[in-house]
Structure 1
Amino acid sequence: METSSGIQASLAGRYALALFELARDGKALDSVAASLTTLKAALAESAELKALTQSPLIGREAAAKAIDAVAKSLGTDPLTTKTLGVLASNRRLSQLPNVIRAFDTLLSAHKGETRAEVTSAFPLTKTQQTALAKQLKTRTGRDMALDLTVDPAIMGGLIVKMGSRMIDSSLRTRLNKLAQAMRG
């Protein structure tokens, strides 16, 4: 599999590449991807978990024990659990969001998909996600994998980033353009 040199060059990318190759060779890509999705959601929802991964004050052993307990409570697969242990013992838990993002990029490339980062003011329903993925596939000619985030500050509409391309149809941007046009 061809991987971009950008992923290989980053610290998180090396961990993600190792995890991806182990998962691919062990035919566990789907279970690892599901575990990482669960971890990503847990990081977004839990201030305590985020603090655990970001705090330099937590020692290696304490971080390893805590992250092992988190992995067990979330039901992550064994490969992901081991990777979390390695990140904790190497004091690299702060890289976890980047590892997840790099793994998702590798998985999408493996599946022949293009990743799109989608920001909306409100959570998108499954129907809306499917319609958006179809629309983007029509536009790009490739299957799409969506990374969804919610940012109420955009007020409405969507911001879609695909690589270096960005489509900004947010209400905030439209209002800013209108304000600038009115100023002259």
Structure 2
Amino acid sequence: MSLALTLARPYARAAFALARQAGALPAWSAALATSARIAADPRIAALVAHPGLERAEAAGLVAPPGCDATFLQFLDVLAENDRIALLPEIAGQYEQLRAEAERVVRAKVTSAAPLSDEEKAKIEQALRRRFDADVALELAVDPELIGGAVIDAGDVVIDGSIRSKLARLETALTH
């Protein structure tokens, strides 16, 4: 496990606890996502790491406009502990905690061609039954799959692509 993920975990848990206590899980998701994008910018990262920059200024650089005071305090704590660079990892882990709490499975469906609304609904319904939870689909298109789709839902990957079937057939024929 990477050091960044390990260091980010307690901050993500703290952010989740603060957001849950305030009843603001979606607002914190948006604020963390925005701050993470800002912090990931190499120019901002260089500014935040500059020793002459005050910690409060570092927090202000990555704060999204209109965020609440508790979120600003959270960013101040990150800045004081030189953890602003961890915002992308913190945001990712926060989203995992939120999905678990809201019983939502996030699944990425990569298909060879764009899916119709009917196909999306069938996939969503099948995943709902399999995981006994709500499903949030993220759709992507990869023509290199030739046909079919690959579904990635965390620990479960279902590869129904023609490309993968051809690769398995090739392996079987060569051995």
Identity of aligned residues (%): 27
Distance 1:29 1:82 in 2: 16
Partners of 2:74 and 2:48 in 1: how far apart?
21
Per-residue displacement from partner, 1:74-123 (whole Å, max 9, x unpaired)? x555444443343333222332222112111211222122343x152689
Aligned pair in 2 of structure 1 residues 125, 181: CA closer, same or farther (>3 Å)? closer
CA RMSD across the alignment: 4.0
TM-score by length of 2: 0.67
Which of 24, 30, 55 is the equivalent residue of 1:28? 24
Say yes or no: does 1:160 pair with 2:154: no
Q: Distance in 2 between matches of 1:34 and 1:28?
A: 10
How has the CA–CA distance of structure 1 residues 154 and 83 changed in structure 2, closer, same or farther, with 3 Å as cutoff?
farther
Q: What amino acid is the match of 2:27?
A: S
Structure showing greater radius of gyration is 2
For structure 2, list consecutive stretches of 5 or more residues without a partner in the other structure. Answer: none
Taking structure 1 as reference, are residues 153 and 50 closer, same or farther at Cα in structure 2, changes over 3 Å only?
Answer: farther
Matches within 5 A, 1:44-123: 49-52=40-43, 58-59=49-50, 61=53, 65=57, 68-72=60-64, 76-116=67-107, 118=108, 120=110
TM norm structure 1: 0.65
Q: Amino acid of the residue matched to residue 136 of structure 1?
A: L
**For 1:130 and 1:59, how far apart are their aligned partners in 2?**
47
CA distance in 1, matches of 2:68, 2:35: 11
